[in-house]
């Protein structure tokens, strides 16, 4: 029998000191890490979500919960605080016109139901922020419009809401691009202009529509840190800017302005920790412009490429000597290479990466960034586009080799997102088969999936594959028996939950579609499913297939398989 979920009535787990409880907004996603900053021995687009509780900030606020917020770390009020962006005297740049480009985003979400994948969950509404850019387009956060059914925008000072079209959603960078067909929406509004990446201690002003009221709110602070950080929604690590301005629910997608009135980032998440106050994060302009150019060049969002390797720091002198490195040579050791990565047949395990595109990599995996600053070398990779070529210099057997490699987006065995699609499923004899993804694990369910605490509650076998397993091919999936819809045909098997399917009638199960083909075309007397932990399921073929129709009718299921598996 597969590993079963622990009971919901369990004793509360002890939390690390200072970490507060998660709030209950539908769009808020939390995760944990012991070190938010480092990228230790990791794939350059990290699979592990951060352990410190961060939250996305685009979730809805129930009307009954509206209240005034007193923000202790930065000057924050509602419209009164707009004075910080009002026209200045003595030749200072006027930033007030940028305020009119900030819009409120209303979204109706209808999320997939991973426990009952043939239907969706009940719809809910959220509000967040966005801003107008050139080309009659609007930027907001991806999590603000994820699984959208309808998106509407409202301009400052207007009582009209305009239907918006979602042009592109970048899950990794948590950015979405919208447009409005109604010409009236664009009248009298000047698009926001982008500025350069700010420096430490530069003043920033976050504008948006957070909790506490329906009017625009302004929060001011300074840039306190610039580094590679974890993007909670995208489960990736990209360049980010930390500020000490308060970012609250509803601020998501709102612009962060410099003191010159230029946009230097998009508000998207904040840190919840008992020892920290008013720590917010914004997506900086290099990431924003990468997303926009990607869309303009390809007509769609193609993603941020990764190098596709796991690497190890080379700070130990004995380790460097054993690898044949000279006194002046620095770099990082390749631990493993993704089998689906373009460089899988070029680079080798234990190669030492010395440089990327001519920029030397230090023993701790960092490269020069700006004067007096260093940053993880994955930043160099993230500046590239899918399909670009990069020159990598490696040390192998005391010889320096140079390769031109193609860069591609990652292919994870358990993907971080399903990119707005409905989940795939297949049912035979009451056995519900599904492909595992992070949204599947994180989905709220009374019995089967594990919610936001999936890192603690999910079976160790699934978590081990989530963090350490690599896909051997681009179409490989982790297929499980999600649940068993009880019927006479499956008596004795009803307790099997989230257990991996390894083989069918002796043939390995590569993905859900291959399992469907093997089962549907099976003419053997018996169907045998080999599950993990040496568990097997055996059913008589003709009886099992005949029972499927009645089981579907009993549970009101329209089809034995999802539409994507019918081709």
**Could you give the residue numbers annotated as active site?**
143, 174, 252
DSSP string of 502-542, one letter each residue: EEETTEE--SHHHHHHHHHT--SSEEEEEEGGG-EEEEEHH
- As given in the structure block, the two tokens for residue 34 are 């012991």
Nearest to 544 by CA among 500, 503, 504, 511: 504
Nearest to 258 by CA among 305, 347, 192, 350: 192
DSSP secondary-structure letter at 29? -
- As given in the structure block, the two tokens for residue 108 are 């109706």
Identify whether the C-beta of residue 306 lies closer than 8 Å to the C-beta of residue 236.
Answer: no
Task: Determine the Cα–Cα distance for residues 1 and 481; give it in Å rounded to an integer.
Answer: 11
**Radius of gyration (Cα) for the chain, nearest Å?**
25
Nearest to 537 by CA among 559, 519, 558: 519
Task: Determine the Cα–Cα distance for residues 103 and 152; give it in Å rounded to an integer.
Answer: 10
Task: Determine the Cα–Cα distance for residues 537 and 399; give it in Å rounded to an integer.
Answer: 53
Work out the end-to-end distance of the chain between its first and last CA atoms, rounded to an integer number of angstroms: 32
Torsions phi, psi of 442, nearest 5? -85, -10
**Beta strand segments in 244-338, E:** 255-258, 263-271, 280-284, 309-312, 332-337
Identify whether the C-beta of residue 4 lies closer than 8 Å to the C-beta of residue 449.
Answer: no
> What are residue 238's DSSP bridge partners?
229
Task: Determine the Cα–Cα distance for residues 140 and 177; give it in Å rounded to an integer.
Answer: 7
Task: Determine the Cα–Cα distance for residues 379 and 239; give it in Å rounded to an integer.
Answer: 7
Task: Determine the Cα–Cα distance for residues 507 and 259; give it in Å rounded to an integer.
Answer: 64
């Amino acid at each position: 029998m597969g590993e079963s979920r622990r009971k919901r009535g369990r004793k509360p787990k002890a939390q690390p000191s200072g970490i507060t409880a998660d709030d209950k907004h539908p769009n808020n996603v939390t995760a944990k890490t012991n070190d938010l900053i480092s990228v230790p021995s990791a794939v350059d687009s990290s699979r592990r979500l951060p352990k410190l509780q961060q939250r996305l900030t685009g979730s809805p606020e129930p009307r009954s919960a509206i209240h005034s917020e007193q923000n202790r770390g930065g000057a924050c009020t509602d419209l009164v605080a707009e004075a910080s962006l009002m026209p200045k005297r003595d030749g200072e740049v006027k930033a007030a016109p940028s305020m009119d480009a900030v819009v409120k985003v209303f979204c109706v979400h209808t999320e997939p139901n991973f426990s009952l994948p043939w239907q969706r969950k009940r719809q809910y509404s959220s509000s967040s922020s966005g801003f107008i850019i050139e080309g009659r387009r609007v930027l907001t956060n991806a999590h603000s419009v994820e699984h959208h059914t309808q998106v509407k925008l409202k301009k400052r000072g207007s009582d009209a809401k305009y239907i918006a079209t979602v042009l592109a959603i970048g899950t990794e960078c948590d950015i979405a691009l919208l447009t409005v067909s109604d010409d009236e929406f664009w009248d009298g509004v000047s698009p926001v202009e982008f500025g350069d990446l700010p420096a430490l201690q530069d003043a920033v002003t976050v504008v948006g529509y957070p909790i506490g009221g329906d009017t625009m709110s302004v929060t001011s602070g300074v840039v306190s840190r610039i580094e590679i950080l974890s993007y909670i929604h995208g489960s990736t690590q990209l360049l980010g800017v930390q500020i000490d301005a308060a970012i609250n629910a509803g601020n998501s997608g709102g612009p962060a302005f410099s003191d010159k009135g230029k946009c230097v980032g998009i508000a998207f998440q904040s840190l919840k920790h008992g020892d920290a106050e008013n720590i917010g994060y914004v997506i900086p302009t290099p990431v924003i412009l990468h997303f926009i150019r990607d869309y303009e060049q390809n007509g769609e969002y193609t993603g941020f490429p990764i190098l596709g390797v796991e690497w190890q720091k080379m700070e130990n002198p004995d380790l460097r000597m054993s690898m044949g490195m000279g006194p002046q040579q620095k770099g990082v050791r390749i631990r493993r290479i993704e089998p689906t990565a373009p460089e899988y047949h070029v680079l080798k395990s234990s190669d030492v990466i010395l440089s990327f595109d001519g920029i030397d990599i230090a023993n701790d995996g960092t490269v020069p960034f700006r004067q007096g600053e260093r940053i993880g070398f994955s930043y160099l990779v993230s500046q590239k586009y899918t399909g670009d070529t990069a020159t990598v210099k490696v040390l192998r057997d005391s010889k320096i080799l140079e390769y031109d490699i193609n860069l591609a987006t990652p292919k994870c065995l358990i993907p971080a997102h399903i990119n707005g699609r409905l989940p795939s499923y297949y049912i035979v004899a009451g056995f519900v088969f599904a492909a595992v993804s992070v949204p599947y694990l994180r989905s709220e369910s009374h019995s089967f999936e594990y919610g936001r605490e999936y890192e603690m509650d999910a079976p160790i076998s699934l978590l081990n594959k989530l963090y350490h397993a690599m896909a051997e091919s681009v179409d490989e999936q982790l297929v499980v028996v999600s649940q068993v819809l009880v019927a006479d045909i499956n008596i004795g098997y009803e307790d099997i939950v989230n257990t991996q399917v390894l083989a069918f009638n002796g043939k390995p199960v590569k993905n859900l579609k291959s399992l469907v083909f093997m089962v549907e075309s099976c003419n053997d007397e018996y169907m045998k499913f080999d599950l993990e932990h040496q568990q097997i399921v055996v059913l008589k073929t003709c009886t099992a297939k005949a029972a499927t129709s009645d089981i579907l009718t009993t549970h009101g299921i329209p089809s034995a398989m999802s539409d994507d598996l019918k081709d």
